[in-house]
Amino acid sequence: MSSPGRHAAVPPAPPGEGERPGAAPRGPGGSTAQGLTGLLTGWLPLAGVLVAGALARLLDPADPAGAGGPTGAPAGLTTAAETAAALVAAAAVGLLVRRWGGWGWLAALAAAPAALGPAQLAAAGRGALEPVLVALVALGLLAVLWRAASGVVAALVGLVCAAGSSLAVLAASAGAPDDGALGVLAPLAGEPLVGGQGPDGLLGALAPSAVETGAVLVALVLALAAVLGLGRARPSRSRGAVATTAVVPLLLAVAPLLVEGLTPAAALPALAVVPAAGALAVTALLRGRRGRRAGPVPADDVDRAAVADLHARVGVPALAPVVVAVAAYDEEGGIGAVLDRMPTELCGLPVDVLVVDDGSADGTAAVVAAHPRALSVACPVNRGQGAALRLAYRVAREHGARLVVTTDADGQYDVADMPAVLGPVVRGEADFVTGSRLLGRQETRDRVRRTGVHVFAGVVTLLTGHRTTDTSFGLRAMRADLTGVVTLRQPQYQSSELLLGAHAHGYRVAEVPASMAVRAAGSSKKGKNLVYGSRYARVVLGTAWREGLPAPVTEVAPALRP
């Protein structure tokens, strides 16, 4: 085996304890395209809601009769002020959810009531000041919760914010008719509001429709569940933000009952802001931590027996900085040709080839053992490609390798693509690089498989927010230490688990064009199309759920970063 040397050309050692591995800018395959994809999946839904809110007001202004605002201002000016205030409130709500790690679509849902609800109330004749009040409350919460604080601090600041908002309501309502406490309580009994606003009651002031009323109630239930630490919320630092975002508008909603002469329309912030508490709660409940099965998989008896056999045959090998890892199972007819084409150097670094024979029943082990380019690791039983590669990663990183390249034993991947795949990792531009048949070329004529590649690429793109075109390409390059950090439990369908794991732990992921040919020999061990597709889908979705969809909010939320 080659002596490990020239390490100065290899990327630096893994980050220290608590350091995010993907803190550096993304590499070539994850630069402009990845940033654009993240922008579209993260912010486009919220932008759509803001545009919809603006159009709703342009097409259905709050003062269609042109009588002007409640203070005598021109109708167009009043409508413009209401529109601006509502959009500011919606943007603040959406940004708050995004700051705390919420998905883009969830931020858009949370912002929708703020963008659309105030227009409905203003159109019903409840005045033009309410959207301004909602904007002030939303901006106040955004400022308070811009960065994480302890639960006690967040609760105290929330109380102060609620008190200040109540005073603002009182000041804004100084000119409102003073009907006393009974006038305020009348809507609770369904009595008409002063000014002929109709028998809406306090819930009517909170939500103009049953759907919006239900949304507020659901958001409160979710917020309570998160604050109590249900689901994955207990270790999350998001619970203080959830409580503050729910309590402040609720305190403001009951303020009319405490201040004589104040109308229930002041409760509008509950309709506009409480959904943000529900969105933060969903984020904490689902993404507060990783699943219990997340984490490096320890060596089992088969792994230990295989490594002991390796040491007994060749001693403790000192591997080259780059190791090409191959998992082989019953590939007697094709593995020899694959090994013949293996390079001795990649990107200026010496290369060793490590083949894990996964309990083959044919002559694969003998072919590998006799080949001068291969270091053979023999498993006594067949466990699947994923388990075989997991063992290969362990042997590589524990015996001096700093970089790992994977390829299959069936000859489908072109050795000439290896420099392009490994290059970004060697240059420090990426931590994990996968080839892509869609960016390059493929020879398969199986339309079902080709469709599946597109479908799963789209699913992973949505899950991670980073553009992905191929989730199951077998030619990959990565830092060796990465394989000891991500969770690798899949015995067979390991490619998507590795890819999603790299994303989940913040590693820089890139794609490069590569080629995929038809099999040179043997047959696939992954099953027919329907079986393969269903199992692969289960791995993709199961891995995403385990890792935190795609990562715990404590690791990705800007508000929680130091």
Which residue in this structure is represented by tokens 């605002």? 69
pLDDT at res. 158: 55
State what percent of residues in the chain have pLDDT above 90: 51
Q: What is the pLDDT of residues 448-504, one digit of tens each?
A: 888 999 999 999 998 888 999 999 999 999 999 999 999 999 998 899 999 999 999
pLDDT band at 444 (very low <50, low <70, confident <90, very high): confident
For every residue of 526-557, DSSP letters joined together read S--HHHHHHHHHHHHHHHHHHHTTTS-HHHH-
Phi/psi at 381 (5° precision) = -135, 155
Instruction: Establish whether the linkage from the previous residue to 550 is cis, with ω within 30° of 0.
Output: yes
Are the C-beta atoms of 382 and 403 separated by less than 8 Å?
no
Q: Predicted confidence band at 164 (pLDDT cuts at 50, 70, 90)?
A: low
Q: Is the pLDDT of residue 506 over 80?
A: yes
Helical axes 75-99 vs 104-123, angle rounded to 10°: 160
Q: In the chain, what are the domains?
A: 301-547 (3.90.550.10)
Which band of pLDDT confidence, cut at 50, 70 and 90, is reported for residue 149? Answer: low
pLDDT tens, position by position, 206-241: 444 677 778 889 999 999 999 999 999 987 788 989
* C-beta of residue 415 within 8 angstroms of C-beta of residue 394: no
pLDDT of residue 198: 41
What is the distance in angstroms between the CA of the first residue and the CA of the last residue of the chain? 44
User: Region 388-409: what's the mean pLDDT?
Assistant: 97
Annotate 437-468 with DSSP letters as a single string.
Answer: EEEEEE----HHHHHHHHHHHHHHHHHHSS--
Question: Distance between CA 82 and CA 97 in Å, rounded?
Answer: 23
Q: What is the pTM of this model?
A: 0.79
Statement: residue 266 has pLDDT above 80? no
pLDDT band at 13 (very low <50, low <70, confident <90, very high): very low
What is the pLDDT at residue 214?
A: 82
The pLDDT, as a whole number, for residue 180 is 38
Q: For residues 532-541, give the mean pLDDT.
A: 92
